[in-house]
Amino acid sequence: MAARDVDYDAFSSAVTQAYFPHDLRIQRAGPGLSNTLRSVSLGPVRLARIGWGADVAVESEHPGAWAINVPRSGVLEARIGERRVQSIDGQATVCPPDVRTRMTRWSADCSIVGMRVDREYLASEAAAVTGASARSMPGQLDLRGGAGRAWLALVSSIGTEVLRSPSVVAEPAVARRLGDTLTAALVLACFPEDAARRSLQPRIVTRVLDALTADPARQWSITDLARVAGVSVRRLQQGFREHQGTSPMAALTSIRLARVHADLLAGSAVSVAEAANRWGFTHLGRFAATYRDHYGVPPSHTLRAP
């Protein structure tokens, strides 16, 4: 549909459902250009292809999730707080959650691939993959080489297939695995130095974090984890204190909480009990108290959130 024929109110509402709520201002129609919208959910990750077919300005607070916007054509200019970011093909604009971002120019010929990642899920994956804090995410990514190029290649190949054929990810477990892969690659692109430092982290810690991330629902004991690491329980606990600032079991709880939180936000569980049990919490009372301490609200509040 050409830009001049678009019902922008309806199209904007569709973009809200597919990606993020926002305020839209049409600056100038793009004669002969078409609007584009496709999206697919991969658990706590959502991919979208968006093109307005007109010069527009878009403002959003990106509630509860990060937005990584990759223009495949045209220009995307944004103001995030006091920082100005201009991205073209080969770059990505990184928009933080719950912070007002003003995309002051989204050119008529600009079509983006957007990756939306739940805030707590990304925080968990950043800590597990590199030990970095998601609060240190860069405002822009260079995708022309290294880990940035590798992430873009994954987004392009996986995104093209699943956006064209959503039935590929009809099975939630498959969708989740693809979302995990894209998020791990994103973290490596955002924190290459932290990833390099993590490679120097004792293998005992890395082995255990990888095992916990791969299967957080398993009823792990500290003895099981020491066996994975190939060291004594005391040595394992010491390694985690020195390199993670926490204990192995606390790390497991954080990973589980992030998975439950992501499922509740995505609506992939019909009840809090189902989500908690899915990720290994067996005592619902203790789980609810821990969840409230971590997120500041009870899990039922997250489940009911729009």
* Predicted confidence (pLDDT) per residue in 198-222, tens digit: 555 678 888 898 899 889 999 999 9
Q: Distance (Å, rounded) from C-alpha 259 to C-alpha 240?
A: 21
| Burial class of residue 299, CB neighbours in 10 A (0-12, 13-18, 19+) | buried
Q: What is the mean pLDDT of the chain?
A: 89
Q: In this predicted model, what pLDDT tens digit does every residue of 46-80 receive, in sequence order?
A: 999 999 999 999 999 999 999 999 999 999 999 99
Round to whole Å and give the CA distance between 161 and 12: 25
Domains and CATH numbers, the chain: 3-192 (2.60.120.280), 201-304 (1.10.10.60)
Res. 290: pLDDT tops 70: yes
Q: What percentage of the chain has pLDDT greater than the value 90?
A: 59
Identify the DSSP state of 176: H
Express as a percent the part of the chain with pLDDT over 70: 94
Flag whether pLDDT at 2 surpasses 50: no
Does residue 197 register a pLDDT over 70?
A: no
- 84-129 confidence digits (pLDDT tens): 999 999 999 999 999 999 999 999 999 999 999 999 899 888 877 7
Going by pLDDT thresholds of 50, 70 and 90, the confidence category of residue 268 is confident
The pLDDT score that the predictor gives to residue 266 is: 79
Helix, strand and coil content of the chain, in percent to the nearest 5, comes to: 50, 25, 30
Strand order, beta sheet including 140-142: 36-42, 45-51, 111-118, 65-71, 91-95, 140-142
